Structure formats: C-alpha cells, structure tokens
Amino acid sequence: MRTKSDFPNINAKKPDGMRPEGTPFRVLIVDDSMFVAKQISQILNSEGFEIIGTAKDGLEGVEKYKELHPNVDLVTMDITMPNMDGVTALKNIVEFDPKAVVIMISALGKQELVKQSLLAGAKNYIVKPLDRVKVLERITSVLKNL
Amino acid sequence: MRVEYINPFVEAAFDVLKEVLNTDIKRGELYLKSTSKPVLGVATIIGLAGDVEGRILLDMAPDTALKIASAMNMEELKELDELGKATITELANMITGQAVTKLHDLGFRFDLTPPSIVTGKDMVISDSGVEALIVPIHLPQGKVEINVAIKEKA
C-alpha cells in the first residue's frame, strides 16, 4: 500500500497560512455577504490560516477586533456594509491599533473608496470576484512585508 | 430610456457570469417589458441615484437561481436558503460594480443602493414613467434576464 510518505514532495510546500515556526496566521473576516465570507474562509482555511472571527458589518468588525486584540494578525474588510461601512471600520481599527493589518475586499467601481482606504492605512485590496490565486497572492505579499 | 445605459450591464453580466460559472453563455434579443408583466421569480434589485436614476433587476427562475448558487458555491444547495440568496446577491453586486465602472468612464455620476433580493410567484415590479429594457442571457443553468430601467434626472 502506498501512503503519503511515498510521495514526500506533494505536500512539501509550506502552507501560506503558517508562520515559519508553524503557528497559523489568525484572520478576522468582516463581510455582510455570507457567500463572500464563506469563500474567503474556504480559501484561507485550505492554506492553514486560522479564522479567528467573522463579523457581519463594520460596527461588529470593530468590536470583534478590540475583543480579540492582540490575537488578530489580519483583517479582511468588505467596503459596502450596513450599519458601518468598511472604510469607517478600518479607520476605527487603525485608530485603536496603528499596527493593524487590514486588507480591503472591494467590488469593481469603488476605486475612490479603495483609494481612501489605502490612505487611511489599509495594507492592500482585493477586487471581487475573488479567486484563490488572487486572494492568496495579495494576503501573503502583505504578511511577508510586515 | 437610452439603449447605451443597458450595454454596460449586459457586457458586465457576460464577463462576470462567464468568470464565476466558467461556462459558455449566449445573449438573447433585447426587448421591452411592460411593467405589468410578472418577473421570473428570484429578482435582485439595485437602485441608482445621481445624474441618472432608476434600477437594475437581475431576474431569474428559482430553479436557475438554485443551480447558479450551487455552481458558485461548488456544492449542491437543496434550496435557496440564506447562503443561496447571499450568493445571488453577490452575483448582482459584481455585475453592477463592473457596469458602473464602465458608465462612470462614460461620464455618468451616480451611486448604487445595496442589493435587495425578492422571491415569489407572479411578482410585478412597477416603475413609474420609465420602461424597462431587458436582455436575456442563456446559460446551461437557465435564463437570466438583465432588466434595466434608467432615466436621466429631470
């Protein structure tokens, strides 16, 4: 019988969601769309990230961030959400923790808001529709440059 | 209503549906729908306000919505539950987002409302003073109608 050990190279690549010492990066997902939140968690889970929390709007996102701090390594932040939009939530999080790592998730057509977010301290952005390669590329490039 | 308003939506719907469903799609003939005709059953509405005003409707039969949501989630959904509706809403978001970029490039300035999804049999959506232009798009999962009613602000 062949076991995994017969194919040592297949799984040799270190998952993107792990730090060099083997602990996962912890992610807070802020998105009002259940579909998008699920898509992001599936992509990140498959690479070993740990989804430490999810929030349905900006207000809840800010609260969760404060509650989980300093145990959040990365926030994915939707832009258009009810109660509090993503740009305002980003500003609140950065005010609370200037070292916060926030990546904006945007639909096309929100260039102005993306620009505002980057000026307000977002580290990068991803435009929907999301695909695995795009999401992982943007997130790992941010984490590498910390 | 000027036909140039609908083209960006049709092009965006084409691009987005092709990308998320990874499939071949065909465009049907443009037609006018009187507002007294019922919609197909699962309708996502996004409002526009600014230089132009009106609304976009992404309209499809419940069965088509379920098949599209299943394909986008890469799992078979049994009913159009909260996840299914969130998926269709997101589809509408992606399409309008892309279309609006094109319209902004043409010089139109307006904002969008967040999408609302309505489901039910024999629903009629009435738009006062503006007729709806419709472009059906044919997919393996069924037909999706891009239904656009926009007018320039008086």
Contact list, A35 vs chain B (CB under 8 Å): 72-73, 83, 86-87, 89-90
Exposure b/e, B87-118, CB count within 10 A at least 16 = b: bbbbbbbbbbbbbbbbbeeeebebebeebebe
Average of pLDDT values for B104-115? Answer: 85
Strand partners, A74: A27
Domains of chain B: total: 1
* Peptide bond before residue A129 is cis, with ω within 30 degrees of 0: yes
Tell me which amino acid residue A25 is.
F
Q: Say whether pLDDT at A10 is over 70.
A: no
Chains A & B: contacts with CB separation below 8 Å: 49
**Hey, are the CB atoms on B82 and A34 less than 8 Å from each other?**
yes
The predicted structure's pLDDT at residue B68: 96
Tell me B5's DSSP state.
G
Q: Say whether pLDDT at B47 is over 60.
A: yes
Q: How many CB atoms lie within 10 A of CB B67?
A: 19
Are A98 and A65 a contacting pair, CB within 8 Å?
no
The label of the residue with tokens 């499939």 reads B23
Q: Say whether pLDDT at A7 is over 70.
A: no
Q: What's the domain range around B39?
A: 3-152
Cα(B117)–Cα(B112) distance, integer angstroms: 15
- Per the structure block, which two tokens stand in for B40? 């197909």
- B113: confidence class by pLDDT, cuts 50, 70, 90: confident
The predicted structure's pLDDT at residue A1: 57
Contact list, B114 vs chain A (CB under 8 Å): 80, 82
Contact list, A109 vs chain B (CB under 8 Å): 96-101, 104, 112
Dihedral angle of Cα B65, B20, B54, B10, to the nearest 10 degrees: -110
For residue B86, the distance in angstroms to the closest alpha carbon of chain A comes to: 5
- Per the structure block, which two tokens stand in for B108? 């139109």
For position B37, which CATH number holds? 3.40.1550.10
Q: Which domains does chain A have, with CATH numbers?
A: 23-144 (3.40.50.2300)
More reliable by pLDDT, A109 or B112:
B112
- A140: confidence class by pLDDT, cuts 50, 70, 90: very high
pTM, rounded to two decimals:
0.82
Q: How far is CA B43 from CA A116, A142, B146, in A?
A: 32, 38, 10
What proportion of chain B, given as a percentage, has pLDDT over 70?
A: 96
**Hey, are the CB atoms on A108 and B72 less than 8 Å from each other?**
no
Spatial neighbors of A82 by CB under 8 A, at least 6 apart, are A32, A57, B114
A67-122 confidence digits (pLDDT tens): 999 999 999 999 988 899 999 999 999 999 999 999 999 987 778 899 999 999 99
